[in-house]
Structure 1
Amino acid sequence: MLRRALSNLISNAIRHTHQGHTVQVSLATHGDKAIVLVENPGMEIPVEHLPRLFDRFYRVDPSRQCKGDGAGLGLAIVKSIVDAHAGSITVTSTNLVTRFQLTLPTLAK
Protein backbone atom coordinates (compact mmCIF):
# COMPACT_ATOMS: atom_id res chain seq x y z
CA MET A 1 0.00 0.00 0.00
CA LEU A 2 2.84 2.41 0.74
CA ARG A 3 4.11 1.86 -2.79
CA ARG A 4 0.72 3.07 -4.08
CA ALA A 5 0.84 6.17 -1.86
CA LEU A 6 4.34 7.08 -3.06
CA SER A 7 3.40 6.38 -6.66
CA ASN A 8 0.41 8.73 -6.40
CA LEU A 9 2.48 11.51 -4.85
CA ILE A 10 5.32 11.18 -7.35
CA SER A 11 2.94 10.99 -10.32
CA ASN A 12 1.19 14.17 -9.16
CA ALA A 13 4.52 15.91 -8.65
CA ILE A 14 5.68 14.98 -12.14
CA ARG A 15 2.37 16.08 -13.67
CA HIS A 16 2.62 19.51 -12.03
CA THR A 17 6.32 20.13 -12.70
CA HIS A 18 7.27 22.12 -15.77
CA GLN A 19 9.47 20.45 -18.35
CA GLY A 20 13.15 20.76 -17.54
CA HIS A 21 12.61 20.90 -13.76
CA THR A 22 13.16 18.11 -11.26
CA VAL A 23 10.99 16.36 -8.69
CA GLN A 24 12.90 15.55 -5.50
CA VAL A 25 12.15 12.59 -3.25
CA SER A 26 14.04 12.15 0.00
CA LEU A 27 13.91 9.82 2.98
CA ALA A 28 15.17 10.49 6.49
CA THR A 29 14.65 9.19 9.98
CA HIS A 30 13.97 11.22 13.08
CA GLY A 31 13.85 9.17 16.25
CA ASP A 32 11.29 6.43 15.71
CA LYS A 33 9.79 8.08 12.62
CA ALA A 34 10.56 7.75 8.91
CA ILE A 35 10.04 10.95 6.93
CA VAL A 36 9.46 10.95 3.18
CA LEU A 37 9.47 14.26 1.30
CA VAL A 38 8.16 14.67 -2.23
CA GLU A 39 8.90 18.15 -3.58
CA ASN A 40 8.21 19.71 -6.92
CA PRO A 41 8.78 23.16 -8.36
CA GLY A 42 5.88 24.80 -10.12
CA MET A 43 2.86 26.94 -9.49
CA GLU A 44 2.03 27.38 -5.83
CA ILE A 45 -1.21 25.95 -4.52
CA PRO A 46 -3.19 28.80 -2.91
CA VAL A 47 -3.16 28.43 0.87
CA GLU A 48 -6.97 28.27 1.11
CA HIS A 49 -6.93 24.99 -0.85
CA LEU A 50 -4.26 23.17 1.17
CA PRO A 51 -6.57 21.87 3.96
CA ARG A 52 -8.92 20.28 1.39
CA LEU A 53 -6.36 18.63 -0.91
CA PHE A 54 -6.88 15.25 0.76
CA ASP A 55 -10.69 15.35 0.39
CA ARG A 56 -12.16 12.90 -2.12
CA PHE A 57 -12.88 14.45 -5.53
CA TYR A 58 -11.46 17.84 -4.48
CA ARG A 59 -9.70 19.82 -7.19
CA VAL A 60 -7.96 23.15 -6.82
CA ASP A 61 -9.24 24.11 -10.27
CA PRO A 62 -12.61 22.44 -10.98
CA SER A 63 -12.37 23.41 -14.64
CA ARG A 64 -9.51 20.91 -15.07
CA GLN A 65 -11.72 17.95 -15.92
CA CYS A 66 -9.53 16.91 -18.84
CA LYS A 67 -9.18 13.30 -19.86
CA GLY A 68 -6.22 11.74 -18.06
CA ASP A 69 -6.13 14.41 -15.37
CA GLY A 70 -7.41 12.02 -12.71
CA ALA A 71 -10.64 11.84 -10.74
CA GLY A 72 -9.52 13.77 -7.67
CA LEU A 73 -9.01 10.61 -5.64
CA GLY A 74 -5.22 10.24 -5.61
CA LEU A 75 -4.45 12.36 -2.56
CA ALA A 76 -7.46 10.97 -0.66
CA ILE A 77 -6.07 7.48 -1.29
CA VAL A 78 -2.63 8.60 -0.11
CA LYS A 79 -4.13 9.99 3.11
CA SER A 80 -6.09 6.77 3.75
CA ILE A 81 -2.97 4.65 3.27
CA VAL A 82 -0.87 6.87 5.53
CA ASP A 83 -3.62 6.82 8.19
CA ALA A 84 -3.80 3.01 7.96
CA HIS A 85 -0.08 2.91 8.79
CA ALA A 86 -0.51 5.21 11.82
CA GLY A 87 1.28 8.03 10.04
CA SER A 88 0.53 11.59 8.99
CA ILE A 89 0.83 13.67 5.85
CA THR A 90 1.19 17.42 5.44
CA VAL A 91 1.51 19.73 2.46
CA THR A 92 3.03 23.18 2.02
CA SER A 93 3.26 25.26 -1.12
CA THR A 94 5.51 28.31 -0.92
CA ASN A 95 8.29 29.93 -2.92
CA LEU A 96 7.16 28.03 -6.05
CA VAL A 97 7.72 24.63 -4.39
CA THR A 98 5.01 22.20 -3.26
CA ARG A 99 6.17 19.79 -0.58
CA PHE A 100 4.34 16.72 0.72
CA GLN A 101 5.74 15.21 3.91
CA LEU A 102 4.80 11.72 5.02
CA THR A 103 5.71 10.78 8.56
CA LEU A 104 5.48 7.09 9.41
CA PRO A 105 6.43 5.06 12.45
CA THR A 106 9.46 2.81 11.99
CA LEU A 107 9.26 -0.83 12.93
CA ALA A 108 10.37 -1.64 16.46
CA LYS A 109 13.21 -4.14 16.66
Structure 2
Amino acid sequence: MVSLLYSIGRYKKAKAQKERKKERKKECKKGSVKASRPNEIWHADVTEFVTSDNVKFYVHSVLDNFSRKIIAYTVSRDKTDKTRLISLKEAIIIQFGKVLSPTSGSYRRWRF
Protein backbone atom coordinates (compact mmCIF):
# COMPACT_ATOMS: atom_id res chain seq x y z
CA MET A 1 0.00 0.00 0.00
CA VAL A 2 2.79 2.41 0.89
CA SER A 3 4.60 1.69 -2.37
CA LEU A 4 1.39 2.40 -4.34
CA LEU A 5 0.98 5.78 -2.63
CA TYR A 6 4.66 6.53 -3.24
CA SER A 7 4.25 5.71 -6.96
CA ILE A 8 1.17 7.91 -7.26
CA GLY A 9 3.00 10.77 -5.53
CA ARG A 10 6.00 10.43 -7.85
CA TYR A 11 3.68 10.33 -10.88
CA LYS A 12 1.88 13.53 -9.82
CA LYS A 13 5.18 15.29 -9.09
CA ALA A 14 6.63 14.29 -12.47
CA LYS A 15 3.45 15.42 -14.23
CA ALA A 16 3.53 18.81 -12.47
CA GLN A 17 7.21 19.30 -13.35
CA LYS A 18 6.44 18.48 -16.98
CA GLU A 19 3.63 21.07 -17.04
CA ARG A 20 5.88 23.74 -15.49
CA LYS A 21 8.59 22.98 -18.03
CA LYS A 22 6.07 23.29 -20.87
CA GLU A 23 4.89 26.68 -19.54
CA ARG A 24 8.47 27.97 -19.24
CA LYS A 25 9.20 26.81 -22.77
CA LYS A 26 6.16 28.72 -24.03
CA GLU A 27 7.23 31.87 -22.20
CA CYS A 28 10.91 31.76 -23.12
CA LYS A 29 10.98 31.05 -26.84
CA LYS A 30 14.35 32.18 -28.07
CA GLY A 31 14.16 35.41 -30.05
CA SER A 32 10.43 35.89 -29.63
CA VAL A 33 8.83 39.10 -28.42
CA LYS A 34 5.27 39.65 -27.26
CA ALA A 35 3.46 42.97 -27.51
CA SER A 36 1.09 43.93 -24.71
CA ARG A 37 -1.04 46.26 -26.86
CA PRO A 38 -1.70 47.00 -30.56
CA ASN A 39 0.90 49.01 -32.55
CA GLU A 40 3.57 48.44 -29.91
CA ILE A 41 5.71 46.14 -32.10
CA TRP A 42 5.56 45.72 -35.87
CA HIS A 43 7.32 43.14 -38.00
CA ALA A 44 8.39 43.63 -41.63
CA ASP A 45 8.67 40.62 -43.90
CA VAL A 46 9.60 39.97 -47.53
CA THR A 47 8.29 36.85 -49.27
CA GLU A 48 9.51 35.77 -52.71
CA PHE A 49 7.11 34.12 -55.17
CA VAL A 50 8.26 32.52 -58.41
CA THR A 51 5.62 31.95 -61.10
CA SER A 52 5.54 29.01 -63.49
CA ASP A 53 7.21 31.11 -66.19
CA ASN A 54 10.08 31.88 -63.74
CA VAL A 55 9.14 35.50 -62.96
CA LYS A 56 9.89 36.61 -59.40
CA PHE A 57 7.53 38.75 -57.33
CA TYR A 58 8.21 40.06 -53.83
CA VAL A 59 5.53 40.75 -51.22
CA HIS A 60 6.68 43.29 -48.62
CA SER A 61 4.36 43.10 -45.61
CA VAL A 62 4.05 44.82 -42.23
CA LEU A 63 2.39 42.88 -39.40
CA ASP A 64 1.23 43.90 -35.93
CA ASN A 65 2.73 41.64 -33.24
CA PHE A 66 -0.23 41.94 -30.84
CA SER A 67 -3.06 41.06 -33.23
CA ARG A 68 -0.93 39.25 -35.88
CA LYS A 69 -2.87 41.31 -38.45
CA ILE A 70 -1.33 42.34 -41.76
CA ILE A 71 -1.37 46.12 -41.64
CA ALA A 72 -0.04 46.84 -45.14
CA TYR A 73 1.66 45.08 -48.02
CA THR A 74 3.28 45.91 -51.36
CA VAL A 75 3.84 43.58 -54.32
CA SER A 76 6.77 44.38 -56.58
CA ARG A 77 9.19 42.79 -59.03
CA ASP A 78 12.28 44.01 -57.17
CA LYS A 79 13.47 43.61 -53.59
CA THR A 80 14.71 47.08 -52.68
CA ASP A 81 14.66 49.22 -49.59
CA LYS A 82 12.49 51.73 -51.47
CA THR A 83 9.64 49.22 -51.79
CA ARG A 84 10.03 48.22 -48.16
CA LEU A 85 9.73 51.86 -47.12
CA ILE A 86 6.61 52.27 -49.27
CA SER A 87 4.87 49.42 -47.41
CA LEU A 88 6.00 50.84 -44.06
CA LYS A 89 4.67 54.32 -44.95
CA GLU A 90 1.36 52.78 -46.02
CA ALA A 91 1.12 51.00 -42.67
CA ILE A 92 1.75 54.25 -40.80
CA ILE A 93 -0.88 56.08 -42.86
CA ILE A 94 -3.42 53.27 -42.33
CA GLN A 95 -2.84 53.10 -38.57
CA PHE A 96 -2.28 56.78 -37.72
CA GLY A 97 -3.80 58.70 -40.64
CA LYS A 98 -0.60 60.50 -41.63
CA VAL A 99 3.12 60.01 -41.96
CA LEU A 100 4.78 61.08 -38.73
CA SER A 101 7.87 63.21 -38.99
CA PRO A 102 10.25 64.59 -36.33
CA THR A 103 9.30 68.17 -37.25
CA SER A 104 5.55 67.63 -36.69
CA GLY A 105 6.00 66.94 -32.98
CA SER A 106 3.63 63.98 -33.10
CA TYR A 107 6.49 61.50 -32.93
CA ARG A 108 6.85 62.28 -29.21
CA ARG A 109 3.61 60.41 -28.52
CA TRP A 110 5.20 57.13 -29.62
CA ARG A 111 6.45 54.87 -26.86
CA PHE A 112 9.61 52.96 -27.53
TM-score range, shorter chain: under 0.3
Greater strand share, structure number: 1
Tell me which of the two structures has the higher relative contact order, counting C-alpha pairs closer than 8 angstroms and 6 or more residues apart: 1
Q: Structure 1 length normalisation: TM-score? A: 0.24
Which of 1 and 2 has greater Rg?
2
Greater helix share, structure number: 2
Q: Structure 2 length normalisation: TM-score? A: 0.24
